[in-house]
Amino acid sequence: MVNAISLLKSSDYRHRIIEAIGDDTLTPSEIATQTRLRLNHVSMFLKELKENRLVKCLNEDSKKGRLYELTELGKDAINKLTKKWGSTRIS
């Protein structure tokens, strides 16, 4: 959990991506639109977040339209941060 929180606190991009996903299941394009980040940056950070078990890809074998959700660790980490910052909690 400490590593997950540290990872999110060390990058505004990671934090924005995790918050954008929230309780939803989103494609990288949808995340890019919501966060106003370039798609290539979203893809790079999703890979990193996945490696650190904060997000999971539901259809890994697809070349297009990959769907991402938060893992329980991702939800717990963002909830711990938002509790401190007063933002909306993710269930």
Report the CATH number that the domain containing residue 45 is assigned in CATH: 1.10.10.10
pLDDT for position 82: 78
Section 3-26 average pLDDT: 94
CB atoms within 10 A of CB 11: 13
- pTM score, whole prediction: 0.86
> How many angstroms separate the CA atoms of 7 and 67, rounded?
22
Domain count across the chain: 1
The amino acid at residue 31 is I
Look at residue 5 in the predicted model and tell me its pLDDT: 92
Give helix 28-35 / helix 39-51 axis angle, nearest 10°: 110
- Nearest-10 Cα torsion for 22, 6, 48, 58: -30
**Residue-range definition of the domain harbouring residue 52:** 2-82
Q: Is 35 part of any domain?
A: yes
- Whether residue 88 is contained in a domain is answered as no
45 within domain boundaries: yes
Q: pLDDT at position 84, please?
A: 61
CA distance 35 to 14: 10
pLDDT at 83: 76
- Domain contains 91: no
Q: Is the pLDDT score of 27 beyond 90?
A: yes
* Region 50-70 average pLDDT: 96
